[in-house]
């Protein structure tokens, strides 16, 4: 079940986000950052619901995944994370489609995100969904050397259409 996130979801979102970063970025980002630094950053990030669209996917009472999109045109896909037990079942594309359907209803037509260089699995995933690299350079989010890659959807309507499909 995919639904709008509530403040009660924030601790589980922060925990999944941290676990996902520690798994995905092991070897890509410094280990000391993935320890206490990332934990503090994500705890602060998820202290309140962000502006925009944040959806959660639940399997029973467990958080299976979440997506957070900051609206603008283009919209910024800030976070998409799927719990290990729910990976590989198509939940990621369903969350993107549901979030993009909500922002499209507000007149948004395009979206983008940043990934850490070396996160090849994420890059393949987003490219399969039509995103294209438009920029690469120093990642301003970190105070250590890291390269960010910007991926853009110039037209989100094909993904919005996925949300409407039976």
User: In this predicted model, what pLDDT tens digit does every residue of 51-86 receive, in sequence order?
Assistant: 999 999 999 999 999 999 998 999 999 999 999 999
Q: Give the tokens for residue 108.
A: 């948004």
Count how many residues are written for the chain.
166
The arithmetic mean of pLDDT across residues 141-158, rounded, is 94
**How many structural domains does the chain have?**
1
pLDDT digits (tens, 9 = 90+) for 15-34: 999 999 999 999 999 999 99
pLDDT(141) > 90:
no
Which phi-psi region, left, alpha or beta, contains residue 118 (left: φ > 0; alpha: ψ -120 to 50)? Answer: left
Q: Could you give the angle at the alpha carbon of 21 between the alpha carbons of 19 and 27, nearest 5°?
A: 120
Q: Give the tokens for residue 107.
A: 């007149």
pLDDT digits (tens, 9 = 90+) for 117-140: 999 999 999 999 999 999 999 998
**Inter-residue contact 159 to 100 (CB < 8 Å):** yes
Place of tokens 């094909």: 158
CATH number at residue 117: 3.40.630.30
pTM (predicted TM-score): 0.96
Q: Give the tokens for residue 123.
A: 């890059």
CA quadruple 100, 98, 132, 134: dihedral positive or negative?
Answer: positive
Q: Tell me which residue range forms the domain holding 35.
A: 2-164
pLDDT of residue 71: 85
Q: Give the tokens for residue 117.
A: 């260089």
pLDDT(2) > 70:
yes
């Amino acid at each position: 079940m995919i639904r709008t996130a509530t403040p009660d979801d924030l601790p589980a979102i922060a925990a999944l986000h941290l676990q996902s970063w520690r798994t995905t970025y092991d070897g890509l980002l410094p280990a000391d950052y993935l320890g206490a630094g990332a934990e503090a950053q994500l705890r602060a990030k998820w202290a309140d619901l962000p502006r925009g669209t944040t959806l959660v996917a639940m399997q029973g009472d467990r958080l299976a995944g979440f997506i957070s999109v900051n609206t603008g045109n283009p919209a910024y896909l800030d976070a998409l994370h799927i719990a290990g037990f729910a990976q590989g079942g198509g939940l990621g594309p369903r969350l993107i489609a549901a979030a993009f359907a909500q922002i499209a209803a507000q007149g948004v037509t395009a979206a983008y995100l940043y990934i850490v260089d070396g996160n090849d699995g994420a890059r393949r995933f987003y490219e399969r969904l039509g995103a294209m690299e438009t920029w690469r350079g120093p990642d301003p989010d970190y105070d250590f050397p890291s390269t960010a890659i910007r991926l853009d959807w110039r037209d989100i309507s094909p993904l919005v259409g996925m949300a409407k499909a039976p």
